[in-house]
Amino acid sequence: MKKSIILTAFLFVSFYKSNAQGCVAIRGLGAFSCATHAEEKQDSTGWTFTLNNRYFKSYKHFVGTVEQKERVENGTEVINHNFSTDFFFQKRFNRRTSIGFNLPVISNARSSMYEHGGNTGGPSARRSTHSFGVGDARAALYYWIMDPAKSRKWNVQAGLGIKLPTGDYNYQDYFFKNDTIKTLGPVDQSIQLGDGGTGITLELNGYYAFTSELSIYGNFFYLSNPREQNGISTARGGIPTAASISYGSNVMSVPDQYMYRAGFNYMKGKFTASLGMRKEGLPAKDFIGESNGFRRPGYVVSVEPGVSLESKKVTYFLNLPFAVERNRTQSVPDKIRTQKTGVYFKGDAAFADYLINIGMVIKL
């Protein structure tokens, strides 16, 4: 068996306010600890540092799985540029147990018309809001189910952690109604730096090696946010409408999120290529607690190719998930609106075509 099987799989699902897949804010969660397979000759203790950079541009609007192509054709689309850098430190206590700490630094820009002069206001109505700063931190304890020294063909790693509300979930910028009137208010949920909740994370990371060159991987991640709402208004510095209060969309929700992925790794010398599928999303209802408040639930299914190159102390990686299915599902306020009006309603959300993830893993 080779020195290590590099599983080129690094978590970054962005969420409402970190790094989202657009308006369905699937937060970037940093590199997960199943990056390498611990082996008998590998150091059982020590530190590993992962630097992961993530970027995407979202602009294609969907209601359900149907793309609203007229938004781009009419120039009324919402454009999010999201960039984040995750700093992930992992301490190995022995071959089976480790602890990881992740802290993201985020820079977001959101260009729209409807939040400013209005979709009928012409090109001059398009303005931008921004956010920059530290996002929500995460810490987790990881444990290999099997002793890596004895089970080198396959293994499963379990992780249990906590997500802390270190990111600003009331980041504010100016909204321009015209050239002279502007209002200071909370930016859209998709570019807020945090969600305002303390969450519980559950992870499962596994692999099976067919040969020294070919293996399969699988990862599962779920973030449970028990807090229902964070108290931040969605009115962008204005007064909430009677309709938004009636439907419960006047205050931001604190939603759960999930990700699972699976695929193949092929390793040749220091080079590894991977190809898999991933699904990441935001459920309409939380696993624990109530689910009222404004959120844009939905999911993205992507084909995920990746490459990595390993040196003695540093492994460089690049992952490029390409979306093959995007779905903006019905939220709780959407359902309340449907019940009260008798007319089925489902909001829209903007998604990206692809994500760029590039970074390095350093053995300290």
**Is the pLDDT confidence value at 41 over 50?**
no
Per-residue pLDDT tens over the stretch 58-111: 999 999 999 999 999 999 999 999 999 999 999 999 999 999 999 999 999 999
Averaged pLDDT score across all residues of the chain? 90
Mean pLDDT of 22-48: 57
Segment 254-261 shows an average pLDDT of: 96
Task: Give the pLDDT of residue 153.
Answer: 94
CA 276, 282, 285, 290 dihedral sign is: positive
- Report strand pairing: 199-209 vs 214-224: antiparallel
Phi, psi dihedrals of residue 72, rounded to the nearest 5°: -70, -40
Q: Mention the CATH class of domain 46-363.
A: mainly beta
DSSP-based three-state secondary structure for 91: strand
Query: What number of other Cβ atoms are within 10 A of residue 102's Cβ?
Result: 26
pLDDT band of 274, cuts 50, 70, 90: very high
Contact 349, 334 (CB under 8 A): no
Which has the closest alpha carbon to 138: 246, 18, 45? 18
> What pLDDT, on a 0 to 100 scale, did the predictor assign at position 18?
35
For the four alpha carbons of 221, 322, 291 and 199, in that order, the dihedral sign comes to: positive
At 214, is the secondary structure helix, strand, or coil?
A: strand
Domain ranges in the chain are: 46-363
**What's the whole-number mean pLDDT along residues 259-288?**
96
For the segment 184-230, what is each residue's pLDDT rounded down to a tens digit?
999 999 999 999 999 999 999 999 999 999 999 999 999 999 999 99
The stretch 125-130 carries a mean pLDDT of 96
* Side-chain-side CA neighbours of residue 49 (13 Å): 7
Average pLDDT over residues 162-186: 95
| pLDDT value, residue 4 | 39
